[in-house]
Amino acid sequence: MTGLLAQIYRHPVKAIGRQVLRGVILEAGKIIPWDRAYAVAHSRSRATDLKQSWAKKANFLRGVTGPSLMAVVAKFDEDAQILRLTHPDTDPLEIQIDTADGQDALVQWLRAIWPLDVSEPTQVIHHAGSAQTDVPHPWVSIHTQASHDAVAAAMDAPDLSVHRWRGNLWLDELPAWSEMDWVGKDIRIGEAVFHVHQPITRCKATMANPLTGQRDLDTLAALQTNWGHQDFGVYASVIKGGRLTQGDPVEVL
C-alpha cells in the first residue's frame, strides 16, 4: 500500500495556532521540531509547580475549553524565536516568545479571545528539548485525507476543515481508515520510518470551526454514529530519522 505526504503541520504553542511546513528533518525518538514546544498555563494549573518537563493537558489552555483558540493561525521563526499569531476577532500579535516581555504579551493577547467564565491564562511554559503533547511520549500524529473526506461526507459538510484535527502529517492516495490497520506496524514516509502505536481519541475541540472559533458541527457524534468510536488519526514514533517533504512517498512496511 503506497500513498504520498500531502501536508506537514506543527503547532509551536500548544492548542494555539497551526503552521504549515513544506519540509522538516526528523530525529529518531523525537517529534516535529518546535511542535508544542510552548504551552500557556491557566490560573488553576499545577504545571508551574511540576519539576518534570511534561504535564497533563488539563494544565494548559486548550480548544476543548476555549473553542476560539481553534481559529488561531501561527507563523514561527525558530531561529529568531519570533512568533506571529492571527485571529479573526482581534489584532495580529508578533513577539519574541523566548523573552519575558514576549510571553507577557502573548498572555494578554489570549485574554481577548479566551472565555471569561473559565480559568484565565497566566503564563507561558517551556522546557528546552521537550513538548507539551497530549500524551507523555514523543509521538507524531498521522492522518489520511480519505478518512477526513469520509467524515465530511457523513456529516454532509464538504467544507469540513482538516484543521479541526490539529494533525502533524496528512497522507493522501490511501483508503479511508487504512491508518487504523497500521497500529503495531511500521511505515516509511520520505526518509523517515515511524512505528504506529494507537488511534487518537478525539474531544470537543474538533467541534469548533477553525475559521471562526465557534462550535458548529458535532464531529464526535458523527464518528460514534457512523463508525462506533471517537477516534481519528493515529499516534506514531519516529524510529528512523530523515527528511520529510511534501509529495514524499508513503509505504506500509
**E runs forming strands in 11-81:** 19-21, 23-26, 38-42, 73-77
What would the mean pLDDT of 176-194 be, rounded to a whole number? 98
Alpha helices in the chain (DSSP H): 100-111, 145-154, 219-227
Q: Report whether 113 contacts 89 (CB < 8 A).
A: yes
* Residue 77, strand partner residues: 82
The reported pTM is 0.96
Q: What is the mean pLDDT of residues 172-178?
A: 97
**Rounded CA gap, 15 and 69, in Å?**
7
C-alpha cell at 173: 492516495
The number of angstroms, rounded, from the C-alpha of 124 to the middle of its chain's C-alpha atoms is 18
Length of the chain (residues): 253
CA–CA distance, 23 with 154 (Å, rounded to integer):
32
Helix, strand or coil for residue 165?
helix
Confidence of residue 213 (pLDDT cuts 50, 70, 90): very high
Q: What is the rounded distance in angstroms from the CA atom of residue 203 to the CA atom of residue 220?
A: 7
Asked whether the predicted pLDDT for residue 104 surpasses 70, the reply is yes
Mean pLDDT of 195-201: 98
∠ CA 109-112-113 to the nearest 5 degrees? 105
**Exposed/middle/buried for 29, CB within 10 Å: 0-12, 13-18, 19+?**
exposed
Nearest to 15 by CA among 61, 82, 73, 47: 61
pLDDT tens, residue by residue, 227-252: 999 999 999 999 999 999 999 999 99
The tens digit of pLDDT for each residue in 62-72 reads 999 999 999 99
**Chain centre to alpha carbon of residue 169:** 10
Ramachandran angles phi, psi of 152, nearest 5°: -60, -40
Q: What does the pLDDT read at residue 148?
A: 98
Give tens-digit pLDDT for 33-59.
999 999 999 999 988 776 668 999 999
pLDDT reading at 79 higher than 80: yes
Could you tell me the maximum CA-CA distance found in the chain, to the nearest angstrom? 50
Ordered domains of the chain (ranges, CATH): 2-30+135-252 (2.40.33.20), 38-126 (no CATH)
